[in-house]
């Protein structure tokens, strides 16, 4: 390195030049980079040690971000930069904690500076922007003014003040709920962004968190991966990335030694390779962009939008009724049709004092304001928020991470689930169980029975044509094998049964060209040559029937080469079908020696004239609970369609084992199709066949997308599971996209709404159950809330029009509407999902939010409450022998207790036994107990505030008895059958 004096001299000269040439910013930048490189590459003084602090993070950041070929050339290329960063491109970093910490200190951590989270105060201010709260504030001001005018300051503030207290409680509860939900979203966001990536450290390939990546790390990239940091291409084959997230361009960029720049946040869409990390975190363009992006935590789900529309409609009805009451009451008063407490006419033109007229008008307006208050269902939005927040938290415990709020409720409406096979229906624990060579089955353990020559070629095909790795650990007898499940199964077989030594193969052979595997080709190929030789050998591996079609010869077990006659080809097809009937995945390996030298090889692997080495059968057992989960879905009216890349026979065997295909119910030629067959249908044929299809084999990602589109056109609500990059279009197109948390690529996860953390189909069914539970809980609360509103609105309307007075004051109604209904929302929102939910048909797209069943229950309970309370209003004083104030207290107490008992009825919309499973919901019982205690306090101890009088034991008993009648009424009403679906409020 330069001496310190030289360093300062060069820096000073640069600053002078920079100051004189301000207008030439680009030239200054290049000059700065060149001078910095000069500092990097001058020979160090004797005794100096290279230090990471000599490398400027800004220089490395600009190098990759600007894709500066000139700057990279000035450095001396990727290998020279690797030596400066003290990185071994083969063995990676040492993994020493001190070294990793030093790199983090110098270059930063691979984390982004997120915008500050919204404060609690901001949630409070947001709550005050709600139109309902604004209306209530206006009502509070009017009530406060009229109350003080009518009763004086000492007692006149009760109604208006209680509304303000109630508003305060609602705002605080809403703000606390939103703040808690925001924290939960941030936690989920952190977990979803904690991607696992594979790096090589200390010569060993190992998975680490994306947050633990440091500058100098060598990272493995494969199809579907998100590039975790800015870096430079080290080696690989057919590597292409999608840079649309950074540049907006949809073209797929080829990355190789000619274009070695890899940008953080881009996606690998083909091939595989290794990159050396040059910049991390905030030093990347992706980091700067992500730091300015804040996820919207105020996402409104479709159900919330429908509820807000319903709330608005009910509010308008309430205002209309209030205006009608105001008009009728004013007419009655000024026409002399009202009387005071003494029975005298209240208004006589020219005789009644102006002060008395003003007091009467204030009383009438206050009654109208009370009706507006009671009409607004304040608890509905809160109920949705509580239900979604609670269910999301519980779903996380059930291995489902919700990335999008609306997915919770939409999943409850799902009518069809299109699922993958591998890892979702199966355990994803693949192992080779059968081997066929030369049309004969060979034991997978009998490596000695295979001729030496063919065994050597077979091991080359296994060990060289792979993206997996085998790491022999000194202290462990079993090697560590990384790669896809299929690759791991074949490599494990090669190592443990055939005696393959991966390191020896790589030392002896050099890879010339690679054709990477993807879901379209369903095969991968590699061209290799022995070191110090020019002869090129080509190996192919992939779907057995596809590889078989490329072969003109085959090896026998003894090592002789035989011509692939039509008869032999037919025999091999039979072998493949027999393996597939045992639900084995059939993989074939084939080989060819290139007719020419290395100089004549132009890089395109030949795909014909191959010699078949053998066919292996890989077993991936079904997950234990899958069949039960499929039966559960079918009982729930949800169709399951399996979409797989396996051949027809393997797909049929797995579908039979899982219960997706039933030969007694499904016609095989209609229920099982190949992707190409489905693709070639006309739109009319596709629409006719889609309902009968249970399995689609040999499918491409386009076929999966086509099936989703067709199902949606038929009116289905479609859920799709996927794990690959090519599943992204189908996941986005589906109503609910479910990606796999273990095997799923980052592209798939980003395109999904829910991440299944254990890749298990049973967890998909759990999500379905939770989705139905969310929808059902919200319907329960809607029924409960609207019963309260309808009964209170009718009672106050009739009483106000008939007598000019309302039996339920604003304070009392706000206690019912805001306090008790908030507790009711919490009680009904936390009901657990039950198996009964999976015995009902899905609600689909067009099912009304308020069903006929709900209207039946709602109207019956509201009608009973109206009859009882109006009877008490007009005959209560004579029945109980009490004055007006005690009568009004009995009406209030009876009304509240009716809601308490009706809350039990709301637990079960259709079942007669409303107490079933109630012992499991301790929160529900606790809330009911708290509500009763608070009601006793309101009646017995807050007389002046709540405008009540104390009741004796007989009056309490009468209130409880009348309220308890709602239980037998609810039971009898549920005996009335309900048919049909369509009703208003459906949208």
Placement of tokens 């010699």 in the chain? 611
CB 535 within 8 A of CB 575: no
The token pair that represents 972 in the structure block: 């009898």
User: Phi and psi for 276 in degrees, rounded to 5?
Assistant: -100, 130
201: β partners: 93, 204
The C-alpha atoms of residue 460 and residue 655 are separated, in whole angstroms, by 35
The C-alpha atoms of residue 774 and residue 408 are separated, in whole angstroms, by 7
The C-alpha atoms of residue 850 and residue 855 are separated, in whole angstroms, by 7
Q: Is 256 exposed, middle or buried (0-12, 13-18, 19+ CB in 10 A)?
A: middle
Closest CA to 813 of 344, 377, 286: 377
User: Phi and psi for 523 in degrees, rounded to 5?
Assistant: -160, 160
Q: Is 159 a catalytic residue?
A: no
CB 887 within 8 A of CB 876: yes
Closest CA to 704 of 292, 723, 507: 723
The C-alpha atoms of residue 863 and residue 636 are separated, in whole angstroms, by 34
- The enclosing H or E element of 39 equals helix 25-41
- The CA-atom distances, in angstroms, between 255 and each of 142, 251, 263 are 70, 13, 11
The C-alpha atoms of residue 184 and residue 252 are separated, in whole angstroms, by 36
Q: Is 535 exposed, middle or buried (0-12, 13-18, 19+ CB in 10 A)?
A: middle
231: β partners: 262, 277
Q: Is 908 exposed, middle or buried (0-12, 13-18, 19+ CB in 10 A)?
A: buried
The C-alpha atoms of residue 70 and residue 77 are separated, in whole angstroms, by 10
CA 68 to chain centroid, in Å, comes to 39
The C-alpha atoms of residue 99 and residue 52 are separated, in whole angstroms, by 10
- Alpha helix segments (H runs only) across 714-820: 728-733, 746-751, 761-803, 810-814
Among residues 217, 230, 420, 620, the one annotated as catalytic is 420
The C-alpha atoms of residue 900 and residue 921 are separated, in whole angstroms, by 16
- Alpha helix segments (H runs only) across 85-157: 97-107, 120-128, 131-151, 153-156
The token pair that represents 953 in the structure block: 């034991």
Angle of helix 379-397 relative to helix 761-803, nearest 10 degrees, comes to: 160
The C-alpha atoms of residue 239 and residue 262 are separated, in whole angstroms, by 11
- Residues annotated catalytic, as ranges: 420
């Amino acid at each position: 390195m330069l001496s310190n004096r030289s360093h300062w001299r060069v820096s000073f000269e640069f600053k002078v030049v920079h100051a004189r040439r301000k207008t030439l910013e680009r030239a200054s930048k290049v000059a700065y980079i060149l001078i910095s490189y000069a500092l990097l590459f001058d020979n160090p003084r004797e005794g100096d040690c290279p230090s990471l602090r000599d490398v400027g993070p800004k220089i490395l950041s600009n190098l990759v971000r600007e894709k500066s070929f000139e700057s990279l050339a000035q450095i001396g290329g990727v290998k020279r930069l690797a030596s400066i960063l003290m990185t071994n491109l083969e063995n990676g970093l040492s993994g020493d904690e001190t070294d990793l910490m030093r790199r983090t200190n110098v270059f930063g951590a691979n984390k982004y500076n997120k915008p500050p989270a919204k404060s609690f105060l901001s949630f409070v201010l947001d709550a005050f922007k709600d139109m309902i709260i604004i209306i209530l504030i206006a009502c509070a001001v009017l009530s406060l003014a009229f109350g003080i005018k009518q009763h004086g300051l000492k007692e006149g503030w009760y109604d208006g003040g209680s509304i303000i207290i109630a508003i305060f409680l609602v705002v605080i509860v809403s703000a606390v709920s939103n703040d808690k939900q925001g924290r939960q979203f941030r936690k989920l966001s952190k977990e979803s962004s904690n991607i696992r990536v594979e790096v090589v450290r200390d010569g060993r390939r190992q998975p680490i968190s994306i947050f633990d990546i440091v500058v100098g790390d060598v990272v493995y990239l494969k199809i579907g991966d998100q590039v975790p940091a800015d870096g430079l291409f080290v080696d690989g084959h057919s590597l292409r990335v999608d840079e649309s997230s950074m540049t907006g361009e949809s073209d797929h960029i080829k990355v190789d030694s000619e274009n070695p720049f890899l940008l953080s946040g881009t996606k690998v869409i083909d091939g595989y390779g290794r990159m050396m990390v040059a910049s991390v975190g905030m030093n990347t363009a992706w980091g700067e962009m992500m730091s300015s992006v804040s996820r919207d935590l105020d996402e409104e789900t479709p159900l919330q939008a429908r509820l807000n529309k319903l709330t608005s409609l009910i509010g308008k009805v309430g205002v209309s009724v209030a205006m009608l009451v105001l008009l009728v009451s004013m007419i009655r008063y000024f026409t002399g049709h009202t009387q005071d407490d003494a029975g005298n006419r209240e208004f006589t033109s020219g005789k009644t004092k102006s002060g008395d007229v003003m007091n009467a008008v204030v009383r009438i307006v206050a009654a109208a304001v009370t009706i507006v208050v009671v009409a607004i269902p304040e608890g509905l939005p809160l109920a949705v928020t509580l239900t979604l927040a609670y269910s999301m938290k519980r779903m996380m415990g059930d291995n489902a991470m919700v990335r999008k709020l609306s997915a919770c409720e939409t999943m409850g409406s799902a009518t069809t689930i299109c699922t993958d096979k591998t890892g979702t229906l199966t355990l994803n624990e693949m192992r080779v169980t059968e081997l066929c060579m030369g049309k004969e089955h060979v034991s997978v353990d009998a490596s000695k029975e295979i001729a030496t020559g063919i065994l050597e070629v077979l091991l080359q095909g296994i060990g060289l044509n792979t993206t997996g790795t085998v790491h022999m650990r000194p202290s462990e007898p079993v090697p560590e094998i990384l790669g896809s499940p299929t690759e791991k199964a074949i490599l494990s077989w090669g190592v443990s049964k055939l005696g393959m030594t991966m390191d020896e193969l790589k030392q002896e052979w050099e890879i010339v060209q690679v054709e990477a595997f993807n879901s379209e080709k369903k095969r991968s190929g590699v061209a290799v040559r022995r070191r110090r030789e020019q002869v090129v050998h080509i190996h192919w591996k992939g779907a057995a029937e596809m590889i078989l079609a490329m072969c003109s010869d085959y090896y026998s077990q003894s090592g002789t080469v035989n011509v692939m006659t039509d008869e032999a080809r037919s025999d091999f097809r039979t072998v493949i079908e027999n393996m597939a009937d045992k639900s084995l995945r059939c993989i074939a390996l084939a080989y060819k020696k290139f007719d020419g030298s290395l100089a004549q090889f132009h890089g395109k692997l030949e795909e014909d004239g191959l010699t078949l080495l053998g066919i292996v059968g890989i077993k991936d057992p079904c997950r234990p609970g899958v069949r039960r989960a499929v039966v559960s879905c079918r009982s729930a009216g949800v169709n399951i369609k399996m979409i797989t890349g396996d051949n027809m026979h393997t797909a049929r065997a797995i579908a039979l084992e899982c219960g997706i295909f039933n030969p007694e119910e499904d016609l095989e030629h209609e229920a099982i199709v190949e992707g190409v067959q489905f693709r070639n249908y006309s739109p009319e044929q596709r629409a006719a066949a889609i309902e009968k299809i249970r399995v689609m084999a040999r499918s491409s990602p386009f076929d999966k997308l086509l099936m989703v589109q067709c199902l949606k056109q038929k009116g289905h609500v479609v859920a799709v599971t996927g794990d690959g990059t090519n599943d992204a279009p189908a996941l986005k197109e589906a109503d609910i996209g479910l990606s796999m948390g273990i095997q799923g690529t980052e592209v798939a996860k980003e395109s999904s709404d829910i991440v299944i953390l254990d890749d298990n189909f049973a967890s998909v069914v759990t999500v379905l159950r939770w989705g139905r539970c969310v929808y059902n809980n919200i319907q329960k609360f809607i029924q409960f809330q609207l019963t309260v509103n309808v009964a209170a609105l009718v009672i106050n309307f009739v009483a106000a029009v008939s007598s000019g007075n309302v039996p339920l004051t604003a304070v009392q109604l706000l206690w019912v509407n805001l306090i008790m209904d908030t507790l009711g929302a919490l009680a009904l929102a936390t009901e657990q999902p039950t198996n009964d939910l999976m015995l009902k048909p899905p609600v689909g797209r067009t099912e009304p939010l308020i069903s006929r069943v709900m209207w039946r229950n709602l109207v019956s309970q509201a009608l009973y409450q109206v009859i009882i309370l109006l009877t008490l209003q007009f005959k209560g004083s004579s029945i109980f022998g009490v004055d007006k104030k005690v009568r009004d207290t009995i009406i209030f107490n009876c009304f509240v207790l009716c809601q308490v008992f009706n809350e039990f009825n709301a637990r079960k919309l259709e079942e007669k036994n409303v107490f079933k499973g109630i012992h499991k919901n301790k929160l529900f019982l606790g809330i009911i107990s708290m509500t009763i205690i608070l009601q006793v306090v309101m009646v017995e101890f807050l007389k002046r505030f709540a405008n009540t009088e104390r009741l004796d034991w007989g009056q309490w008993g009468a209130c409880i008895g009348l309220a308890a009648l709602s239980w037998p009424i609810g039971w009898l009403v549920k005996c009335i059958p309900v048919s049909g679906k369509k009703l208003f409020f459906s949208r």
